[in-house]
Amino acid sequence: MHYRSWLVWGRAPSPAQAVHGNFALAIAIATIVLSLPLTAQEQHKTASATPPAKAAARPTENAQLFRNRTFAFRYQIPFGWVDRTREMQEGNDPGKAELLLAVFERPPEATGDTVNSAVVIASESTASYPGLKKAEDYLGPLTELAAAKGFKPEGEPYALEVESRQLVRADFIKPLRIKAGGDKLTMRQCTLVLLAKGQIVSFTFIAGSEDELDDLMDGLSFGAAKSSAR
C-alpha cells in the first residue's frame, strides 16, 4: 500500500504554542546525524567514495523489514542502505528518549554529489514537556531546531490520518549548492509526529526530491507486528 493513498488531508493547524524543556532528543538526533552527509555534500567530490560491500545474494524482503511492536509500525528499509542504529543508540536513556532506527542511502561520512537520503525514527517521553497534550505541541521545538540547521519550513504543518493513526506532518527544505550542470541541489525533510503510549514518536525522512521523499514514506506502515521489535 502506497503512503500517498493512505492520507486523509486535514486542515492546517495554527502555530503551536512553545512547550517548556530542552529540544527533543529525537529531533536533535535526526538533525545532528543528517548534518554529517550535508557536510560531505557541500564539498566537491575529489575521490570516489568506497561503496558498501555487496552481499553475495539479495536478502529476503523480510530481512529489510524493521518492526516495532511497542508503537505497532513497520518500515521497509530500502535494499543496500546502511544501518547505523546501534552505533547511534549509545548513551540513549530508554526511560526518556530512544533512537529506534537510523538508516542511510550511503555511509554518512561518505562524500557524494547528491543528497544522502535517510530515515530516522525516534521516541521521547511526553513527560519531558509539561503541558504537551497533542502532536501539534511538538512542532515548536522541531521548527526551531530545523531553522538553526538552515532548514526553512515548506508550507504549513497539518494534521493527517494514516491507517487510523492521527499524526502531524511538517516539511522543510534546505538549498545546498548548484551542481556542475547548473541544477540546484536541495535537501528535503519531512517529519511525521505521533503521540502514543505517553511517547512522542517522530518519523523523519530526508531526500533530494519530492518523488524520492514519497518513495521513502511509502515504506512506513502501521498495524500489529507479529515478531519482536529489533
What integer is the mean pLDDT of 21-49? Answer: 44
What integer is the mean pLDDT of 165-176? Answer: 92
Look at residue 93 and tell me if it is in a domain. Answer: yes
Cell reading at 175: 538549498
Look at residue 157 and tell me if it is in a domain. Answer: yes
Look at residue 120 and tell me if it is in a domain. Answer: yes
pLDDT higher at 28 or 75:
75
Q: What is the pLDDT of residue 181?
A: 62
Q: How many CA atoms lie within 13 A of 196 on its CB side?
A: 19
Chain CA centroid to CA 173, Å: 13
Q: What is the pLDDT of residue 180?
A: 62
Long-range contact set of residues 49-57: C-beta below 8 Å, sequence gap at least 24: 49/106, 49/107, 49/110, 49/111, 49/112, 50/110, 51/106, 52/80, 52/82, 52/106, 52/107, 54/80
Q: What is the pLDDT of residue 55?
A: 39
**Amino acid at site 120:** V
Q: Which domain holds residue 82?
A: 3-41+78-222
Burial of 202 (0-12, 13-18, 19+ CB in 10 A): buried
Which 3 state secondary structure label does DSSP give 86? helix
What integer is the mean pLDDT of 87-92? Answer: 78
What is the count of structural domains for the chain? 1
Look at residue 55 and tell me if it is in a domain. Answer: no
Q: How far apart are CA 190 and CA 21, in angstroms?
A: 23
Strand partners, 160: 9, 167
Q: What is the pLDDT of residue 59?
A: 46
Backbone angles phi, psi at 28, to 5 degrees: -60, -40
Look at residue 117 and tell me if it is in a domain. Answer: yes
Look at residue 140 and tell me if it is in a domain. Answer: yes
Look at residue 51 and tell me if it is in a domain. Answer: no
CATH code of residue 137: 3.40.1000
Where is average pLDDT lowest: 13-27, 86-100, 151-165, 194-208?
13-27
Look at residue 89 and tell me if it is in a domain. Answer: yes
